[in-house]
Amino acid sequence: MVTTPLPTEAKPASPPPRSILRDAAFLRLWAGTTASGLATWALPFVLGLAVLHRDLGAAGLGLVLAARTAGFLVAVAVGGVLADRHSRRAVVLWSALAAAAAAPLLAAGLGRSLVLMTAAAVLAGAGQGACRPAFQALTAETVAPEGRQRANAAMTLAVRSSTLAGPALASLLAAFLDTRTLLLGIGLLWLVAALVPARAAGAGGVPVVPAGRPGFRTEFADGIREARRHPWFLAGLAALVAVIALGYSATSVALPLISRDRYGSEWVLAAATTAYTVGALGGALLVARWRPRSQGWAAFAGLAAYGVAPLSLMLPVHPLAVVAAYAVAGVGIELFNVPWFTATQREVAPDKLARVSSLDFLVSYGLAPAGLALIAPAIGAFGVTPVLAACAAACFLVPAAAALVPTARHFARRPPAARD
């Protein structure tokens, strides 16, 4: 007897992923990140205005900015542990409130007490540093995996736009407001960063804090061990160190000198730095939709593209070539950053994500001042061209070597086909 099989019920088609631009929780997180970026980039500019108005000396400015960097580096490690131990939203709240509280202290110390300003700068840097890994982990909690690359691109757009908008907004307001009022305005931006983001209700959940939790050192070491489980991550950190500590530091020191001595004008300096930021914005827009098959290799190629910046400064090229090289470098840096952040959120254990992200910020931000401190003496000893040549070679060769590390091709311990 032949029986006719019963027709199987067709599965309903899954709805397309919701646009992050319609996700209220993400938009609130994006607004908080944007406010923190504006506050971060506006502060050095406002302190520079204080020097112009003779409320702060040049040595005092250097001390205050160094204190802010020190606070950032200490707090970024502590913040990573706290954000894995407690609610990421709570860490963002309290760290941003700390940065907000530093603003009136800076205003109170301006022209009166350098000690108070230095202590307030440490507090401001600590708030900024503690919220960075928490924001990274909170993005993974707020946005589903399929939307994270676009979300990270949107976050990058916020950060890059802030590098232009923060100083520009402060400059505009300086025509109507005094320096102390501008410092209080920076505090208001940090209040927005503290209060606007919503508690995540999606992808990752809130870390569970078991009884008898180990100490800070043990948990930080657990984050290092988690990072070591991902060879692509360690390779990426090494490539970042080469590009930031050597390439970025060399161009930061050499570009003003070459703009003055070779081209006899400051417009090359201004145009090149602006082109870098505009290129980064374009790179973020591109990578929001582009999904190369070998994502890690494409990202390392983008990072290596920074080498064209020091290369353009070595050669007697037309100034527009220097500007174009910086635009290419900006595009390339975001072709690396966005997939790098997305892969970290995908591959790292959710309960260790903030600690691993803090390692990223600690290494990349921590070694940048060391590079700046070494490049100037190196240029004095060997000359601009040899130093730029060595730094350009490092920018090209170290990411290329990092791309050869196992798991680097896809920024994943398993290739996409194996995960599927």
Q: What is the pLDDT of residues 103-128, one digit of tens each?
A: 999 999 998 999 999 999 999 999 99
Q: What is the mean pLDDT of residues 76-101?
A: 94
Is 44 contained in some domain? yes
Q: Do residues 263 and 361 share a domain?
A: yes
Average pLDDT, the chain: 87
Q: At a CB cut-off of 8 Å and minimum separation 6, what does 70 contact?
A: 122, 125
Q: Which residue has the higher pLDDT, 203 or 191?
A: 191
Identify residue 335 by its one-letter amino acid code: L
Residue 265, domain CATH: 1.20.1250.20
Q: Which of 167, 199, 231 marks a domain boundary?
A: 199
Instruction: Report how far residue 313's alpha carbon sits from residue 325's, in angstroms, rounded to the nearest whole number.
Output: 9
How far apart are alpha carbons 112 and 50 in whole angstroms? 12
Q: Which two tokens stand for residue 57?
A: 């000396």
Confidence bin at 14 (pLDDT 50/70/90): very low
Q: What is the b/e burial string over 29-64, where b = at least 16 CB atoms within 10 angstroms of the residue's CB? A: bbebbbbbbbbbbbbbbbbbbbeeeebbeeebbebb
Same domain, yes or no: 137 and 264: no
Q: Does some domain include residue 46?
A: yes
Separation between Cα atoms, residue 220 and residue 128, nearest integer Å? 19
Q: Two tokens at 234?
A: 């360690």
User: Are 145 and 245 found together in one domain?
Assistant: no
Residues 193 and 270 in one domain: no
- The model's confidence at residue 7, banded by pLDDT at 50, 70 and 90, is very low
What average pLDDT score do residues 23-51 get? 91
Spell out the residues 6+ positions from residue 159 whose beta carbon is closer than 8 angstroms to its own.
33, 37
Decide: 88 and 134 in contact? Cβ < 8 Å: yes
59 shares its domain with 126: yes
Domains contained in the chain, number: 2
CA-CA distance, 125 to 190, in Å (whole number)? 12
Which is more confident, 297 or 52?
A: 297
pLDDT at 78 (0 to 100)? 92
Q: Are residues 343 and 398 in the same domain?
A: yes
CA distance 74 to 362: 9
Distance CA 249, CA 371 (A): 6
Q: Which residue range is the domain that position 175 belongs to?
A: 20-199
Considering the domain architecture, whether residues 301 and 363 belong to the same structural domain is answered as: yes
pLDDT at 10 over 50: no
Highest mean pLDDT among 53-67, 128-142, 197-211, 372-386: 128-142
Residue 205 Ramachandran class (φ > 0 left, ψ -120 to 50 alpha, else beta): left
> d(Cα 343, Cα 398) in Å, to the nearest integer?
20
Residue predicted with more confidence, 419 or 362: 362
- Among the listed residues 328, 317, 359, 132, the one whose alpha carbon sits nearest the alpha carbon of residue 225: 359
Tell me the per-residue pLDDT of 321-337, one tens digit each, with 9 for 90 and over: 999 999 999 999 999 99
- Choosing from 199, 231, 246, the residue where a domain stops is 199
Tell whether 395 and 345 lie within a shared domain: yes
Tens-place pLDDT, residues 143-165: 999 999 999 999 999 888 888 88
**49 and 165: one domain?**
yes
Both 290 and 364 in a single domain?
A: yes
Q: pLDDT: is 294 or 6 the higher one?
A: 294
**In this structure, is residue 10 part of a structural domain?**
no
* 411 in any annotated domain: yes
- With a cut of 70, say whether residue 1 has pLDDT above it: no
Q: Is the pLDDT of residue 13 over 60?
A: no
- Terminus-to-terminus CA distance in the chain, angstroms? 40
Contacts of 84 (CB under 8 A, 6+ apart): 137, 207, 219, 223, 351, 352, 353, 354, 355
User: What is the mean pLDDT of the segment spanning 45-51?
Assistant: 89
Same-domain status, 96 and 181: yes
Name the pLDDT band for 213 (thresholds 50, 70, 90). Answer: low
Q: Is the residue at 340 inside a domain?
A: yes
Shared-domain flag, residues 102 and 251: no
pLDDT at 9 over 60: no
Query: Which ranges constitute the DSSP H helices of 348-383?
Result: 353-382
Residue 51 lies inside a defined structural domain of this protein: yes
Domain end call among 184, 199, 214: 199
**Average pLDDT score over residue span 356-363:** 90
Does residue 206 sit within a domain?
A: no
Each residue of 357-376: b (16+ CB within 10 Å) or e?
A: bbbbbbbbbbbbbebeebbb
122 located within any domain = yes
Burial class (CB in 10 A: 0-12, 13-18, 19+), 346: middle
pLDDT digit string (tens) for 308-323? 999 999 988 999 999 9
Q: Is the pLDDT of residue 343 over 90?
A: yes
Question: What would the pLDDT profile of 242-292 be if each residue is shown by its tens digit?
Answer: 999 888 888 888 999 898 889 988 889 989 999 999 999 999 999 988 989
